[in-house]
Structure 1
Amino acid sequence: MLRPVNLESLFDILDNEKLLDEYRIFLNMDKQFERKEINDTKLLFDYLKPAVELSNFYVGFKIPQINKEFDLLRFTSDYILNIELKSKMISEEKIKRQLQKNLYYLKMFKNYSDVHLYTAVKEYENNFKIYELKDGALNEVTPGRMQRDLILTGREVDLSVICDPSNYLISPFNSTELFLEHKYFLTQNQQEIEKTFLNGGIGMYSLQGGAGTGKTLLAYDIAYEEMEKEKKVKIIHCANLNDGQEELNSNGWSISPIKSYKFIEFNNYDVVIFDEFQRASNVEEIITDFSKFKGKTLFCGDTNQWLGSWENKEKTFNKLKECNLLKKEFKVTQKIITNKEVSTFIKQLFDNKKIDSKNVKKENIYIEYFGNETVARSFGTRLERGGWKVISLTTSLYNEEYIDQLEYSDLNSHKVIGQEFDRVAVFMGKNFYYDENGKLNSSEDSYYDSTKMLFENITRTRKKLFIVIVNNREILRSCLEILNCSN
């Protein structure tokens, strides 16, 4: 994590590039904040001297996972100070837009609600224009205005504690109000994909990404952008609709479950988006129909997310490739929604040959063990009362199965498709085991695949994960090995 620095320490070694580079590595500074930016920072503070305090600045901080960058940050007991540097004049509208964005992100830092925002624009070597964003208005101010905010001594903070990336990475389904207000962020990779699709011509496109990569948010933002351009957009969700999608429909969106496919007149739309496409069973029919579509089609999915052996999984996207009609194949690969430590734990849980000490912090993972199912289900009630989303494996409507004993609530694998929650709890019963290759598997011959349902449930979490292990010491042993390795 980025260390704070007295800016004088950087200024005094500007003439020694090798030493400056080594010091930047020590501070964990981002490489993109180059020597030229440090020199501009020196020129600004020379311009403001002597009435300024240079200690405890965070230089070039980037919010982890989403890479939102700030030139200079300092934290006092009362407020965050943010100064952006410009080496040449840009429009005041661009300055305002950037500071408004910075305000949105910085106000979500824990324990801080007051943010003082400035942009310093270099006019020539020894002169700067200073702009301040206050109460929504951008004004040019005197150097003395900025100096007043630089008199107070900054303090060291733990950025990993006060800045939580998941606060900015919302789900259209579980943070629907924030989504409708455009209060979210797309990574650079997502923005590039969106731009290519929006500027592309009619035809078929595909978008693949794993759990936590922001694939669904990107697909729905693409729909949002097309609707803003007064395009008619239809989203086909290849599962049952969730509450968030129903809320979007009540706000003018047009989202239908795949079971309604035959009753939709697609020629009335300019853009059609298929989400969770790997679950579709009528792939050939869809490809045939949309090969003649006079608009744009986006097929989105994750071939690792399936629940029944009859679902098409990777075959859906293979068939799309084989038809030779795809204009562009997009992939989002970086996990941005799931907590990194939780994501690492999940990988090691499903493959115990990958167990090592990297990035698994115990404070994000909770484990309880019970010898029988009745006590475990009772504990699930306590978890739910404590704000956890307890997600059960979907059971068969026709046959009795072992997992019926651990069916806790109405919230099951099929009902959480595409959703994310801050805190997720799951049950792991005696049906789970590790095969000879160290892969997690399930012995229960259930209607739906128990291992895949567990993966679906467990990857719904954004921050914290609670595993309730029932009568399965092998799984308990593996979980403890993963977590105790991190000591």
Structure 2
Amino acid sequence: MKSISIYTITRNQTLDNLQRLERQLSGRGYFLRMREWEMESMKALTEHLEVHIPQICSLRFFYSFQIPKLGKEFDLLQIKKDQIVNIELKSGVVSDEAICKQLLQNRYYLSVLGKPLHSYTYISNQNRLVKLTKHDHIIEADWEHLCTILQKESPDYEGDIEDLFQAELYLISPLTEPARFLRKEYFLTSQQRDIERQILKKIRTEHTGYYWFNGLPGTGKTLLLYDIAMKLSVRQRICMIHCGEAARDWEILHERLQRIDFLTDKELANEREPVSFDSYSAILVDEAHLLSAPKLDILLNAVNHQPVIFSSDSEDMISPEEMDQTTIQKIERLPQILTFHLTNRIRTNAELSSFIQNMLHLPRKKSSRYYPHIEVVCANNESETQNLLDGYIHQGYQYRQTSTPADLNTAAVRVTDRLVTVLDERYYYDTEGYLRSSLRNNSGSSDVRTLFHLLNQTKENLSLIIEKNESVYEILLEILQMHRK
């Protein structure tokens, strides 16, 4: 999406023509839904700027830009080599508190560009211009000063604005980045906010119920669960249950969050000290797909009408024969459970996500996606495998194995830019197109399930060495035989 002249799009014309014009100028891939009140506000803004800026036509902004996957939108952004100007448009009366909150959020998202930022809001029906100060206050602004800033001698950014923003920069993990989480250096996506709003509204009304949200790795489930935990624990104690052996990554949070008690799923099965939730107002379960069916039963029997919130990975692309779905099926059948599915994949890019899903369960139709950051190579013996591994490690790849006893729960936090792993002769595809394994790994888990979580640890590049397995090699090569459009 390119920047455009706001003078050009504020000339009188029909809304249909205006939408066509905006799409042509910005290079947007769709027709923007333009609102009458916003256009009237922008016209009023342009008239004020024109008083002080003779060459108003040369003034360029990115209009109605939304950061991909996050749902965060900006009305007007001027991006120059050494500064950014953000102007938000309002038509009706809005409080200074609401204006300040929005501009502070905008500052957080724009701070990744590392440029000085000037933040304004224009309220057209009051003909009022305000700005955010360095001390986070809203004050009345001067038109002449704004125009001076807008005309600063500095080259405009002429590229695609989406290239400047990487959604994964905004997704933090409370477990691996507890300091940033505790300082609240994050914002939820629009989808996360909507799910949280619905859950909290029902809990505050009914004080009970079952709630469950799931999604692929990288959709921000743990961050959402912890944000809900923070809000529920403002006045009352809650319990957070972690499933699997996560090496107590949450110890820092345990020390700092005084109204949240942390338990492992192992503690649920402690016969000497049966678990009691009587002192908690809510119970939250992270990585619920790792919770065994017997432990789930213990948990449900110990709950005394408190609300229970489950968060789990979606593993639909894994063959049912490769995993025990008893726990998930029990959660699905809980009475009047409120269920959500997170779809905005943030941490793992779309290319890798598509390949991993197609690899685990072959698509019915040939995909047209191009996979430039994925390599599949073959090795005829262990010696060739080692030589190939050495080459990838030399390029900066991290080698991780599915056969190493490891907790699946760590897959969500041990993220790496480049990953290489080996698939040997144990893997095959069944008649339904699912990737299967003839063996279990050393920890007793399904090889395929472990592989799924392993592959989702990579952010940029993935390489697979297929050892002594020509049939799987040929199928994966076929998935990769796509050409750049």
Q: TM-score range by the shorter chain?
A: 0.7 to 0.9
Instruction: Supply the AA of the counterpart residue of 1:331.
Output: H
> Are the structure 2 counterparts of residues 35 and 371 from structure 1 closer, same or farther at C-alpha, using a change threshold of 3 Å?
farther
Counterparts of 1:349 and 1:311, CA distance in 2: 17
Counterparts of 1:118 and 1:413, CA distance in 2: 48
Counterparts of 1:30 and 1:185, CA distance in 2: 27
Structure 2 residues not aligned, in runs of 5+: none
> Are the structure 2 counterparts of residues 224 and 31 from structure 1 closer, same or farther at C-alpha, using a change threshold of 3 Å?
same
Alignment of 1:195-214 (within 5 A): 195-199=197-201, 200=203, 201-211=206-216, 212-214=218-220
Alignment of 1:49-60 (within 5 A): 49=50, 50-51=52-53, 52=56, 54-60=58-64
Counterparts of 1:88 and 1:361, CA distance in 2: 47
Counterparts of 1:230 and 1:307, CA distance in 2: 44
Identify which of 280, 297, 301 aligns with 1:288: 301
> Are the structure 2 counterparts of residues 131 and 39 from structure 1 closer, same or farther at C-alpha, using a change threshold of 3 Å?
same
Identify which of 165, 168, 185 aligns with 1:166: 168
Alignment of 1:171-320 (within 5 A): 171-199=173-201, 200=203, 201-211=206-216, 212-227=218-233, 229-252=234-257, 253-261=260-268, 262=270, 263=273, 264-281=275-292, 282=294, 283-290=296-303, 293-302=304-313, 304=315, 312-313=324-325, 315-320=326-331
> Are the structure 2 counterparts of residues 30 and 240 from structure 1 closer, same or farther at C-alpha, using a change threshold of 3 Å?
farther
Contact 1:309 1:448 (C-alpha < 8 Å) held by counterparts: no
Counterparts of 1:287 and 1:72, CA distance in 2: 50
> Are the structure 2 counterparts of residues 312 and 480 from structure 1 closer, same or farther at C-alpha, using a change threshold of 3 Å?
closer
Q: CA deviation at 1:296?
A: 2.2
Q: CA deviation at 1:429?
A: 2.4
1:40 paired to 2:37: no
Counterparts of 2:75 and 2:117, CA distance in 1: 15
Give the secondary-structure state (helix, strand or coil) at the position aligned to 1:208: strand
Alignment-derived partner of residue 331 in structure 1 = 341
Give the stretch that moved more between structures: 43-52 or 129-138.
129-138
Q: CA deviation at 1:78?
A: 0.9
Counterparts of 2:323 and 2:358, CA distance in 1: 26
Identify which of 65, 74, 78 aligns with 2:78: 74
> Are the structure 2 counterparts of residues 366 and 20 from structure 1 closer, same or farther at C-alpha, using a change threshold of 3 Å?
same
Instruction: Supply the AA of the counterpart residue of 1:329.
Output: T
Give the stretch that moved more between structures: 419-428 or 38-47.
419-428
Instruction: Supply the AA of the counterpart residue of 2:22.
Output: R
Alignment-derived partner of residue 348 in structure 1 = 358
Counterparts of 2:398 and 2:165, CA distance in 1: 24
Counterparts of 2:323 and 2:207, CA distance in 1: 28
Structure 1 residues not aligned, in runs of 5+: 397-411
Alignment of 1:438-457 (within 5 A): 438-444=433-439, 446=441, 447-457=444-454
Counterparts of 1:435 and 1:308, CA distance in 2: 12
1:416 paired to 2:410: yes
Alignment-derived partner of residue 108 in structure 2 = 104
Instruction: Supply the AA of the counterpart residue of 1:148.
Output: T
Task: List per-residue Cα deviations over 1:324-383 (Å, max 9, x = no partner).
Answer: 2x4533333333332112111212222333564545441x43455444435545765776
CA RMSD of aligned residues (A): 3.0
Instruction: Supply the AA of the counterpart residue of 1:88.
Output: G
Task: List per-residue Cα deviations over 1:81-119 (Å, max 9, x = no partner).
Answer: 21111112312122111111111111113xx33222211
Identify which of 86, 90, 95 aligns with 2:94: 90
Give the secondary-structure state (helix, strand or coil) at the position aligned to 1:134: coil
Give the secondary-structure state (helix, strand or coil) at the position aligned to 2:209: strand
Give the stretch that moved more between structures: 59-68 or 94-103.
94-103
Counterparts of 1:102 and 1:256, CA distance in 2: 36
Counterparts of 1:18 and 1:118, CA distance in 2: 29
Counterparts of 2:362 and 2:306, CA distance in 1: 46
Alignment-derived partner of residue 10 in structure 2 = 11
Alignment-derived partner of residue 392 in structure 1 = 401
Give the secondary-structure state (helix, strand or coil) at the position aligned to 1:57: strand
Identify which of 408, 429, 436 aligns with 1:434: 429
Contact 2:2 2:161 (C-alpha < 8 Å) held by counterparts: no
Alignment-derived partner of residue 22 in structure 2 = 24
Contact 1:371 1:471 (C-alpha < 8 Å) held by counterparts: yes
Q: CA deviation at 1:392?
A: 1.8
Give the secondary-structure state (helix, strand or coil) at the position aligned to 2:4: coil
Q: CA deviation at 1:454?
A: 0.9
Task: List per-residue Cα deviations over 1:371-417 (Å, max 9, x = no partner).
Answer: 44355457657766876554321447xxxxxxxxxxxxxxx453524
Alignment-derived partner of residue 147 in structure 1 = 147
Give the stretch that moved more between structures: 422-431 or 216-225.
422-431
> Are the structure 2 counterparts of residues 179 and 47 from structure 1 closer, same or farther at C-alpha, using a change threshold of 3 Å?
same
Give the secondary-structure state (helix, strand or coil) at the position aligned to 2:108: helix
> Are the structure 2 counterparts of residues 216 and 88 from structure 1 closer, same or farther at C-alpha, using a change threshold of 3 Å?
same
Alignment-derived partner of residue 116 in structure 2 = 114
Contact 1:236 1:273 (C-alpha < 8 Å) held by counterparts: yes
Alignment-derived partner of residue 67 in structure 2 = 63
Give the stretch that moved more between structures: 71-80 or 299-308.
299-308
Contact 1:132 1:140 (C-alpha < 8 Å) held by counterparts: no
> Are the structure 2 counterparts of residues 317 and 427 from structure 1 closer, same or farther at C-alpha, using a change threshold of 3 Å?
same
Alignment of 1:400-411 (within 5 A): none
Instruction: Supply the AA of the counterpart residue of 2:291.
Output: A
Counterparts of 1:482 and 1:158, CA distance in 2: 30
Task: List per-residue Cα deviations over 1:301-335 (Å, max 9, x = no partner).
Answer: 2352899979642x3243345452x4533333333
> Are the structure 2 counterparts of residues 208 and 39 from structure 1 closer, same or farther at C-alpha, using a change threshold of 3 Å?
same
Give the stretch that moved more between structures: 70-79 or 46-55.
46-55
Give the secondary-structure state (helix, strand or coil) at the position aligned to 2:106: helix
Give the secondary-structure state (helix, strand or coil) at the position aligned to 2:112: coil
Instruction: Supply the AA of the counterpart residue of 2:297.
Output: E
> Are the structure 2 counterparts of residues 473 and 231 from structure 1 closer, same or farther at C-alpha, using a change threshold of 3 Å?
same
Give the secondary-structure state (helix, strand or coil) at the position aligned to 2:338: strand
Alignment-derived partner of residue 405 in structure 1 = none
Alignment-derived partner of residue 138 in structure 2 = 138
> Are the structure 2 counterparts of residues 163 and 248 from structure 1 closer, same or farther at C-alpha, using a change threshold of 3 Å?
same
How many residues align? The count is 460
Identical aligned pairs, as a percentage?
25
> Are the structure 2 counterparts of residues 484 and 322 from structure 1 closer, same or farther at C-alpha, using a change threshold of 3 Å?
closer
Counterparts of 1:251 and 1:374, CA distance in 2: 50
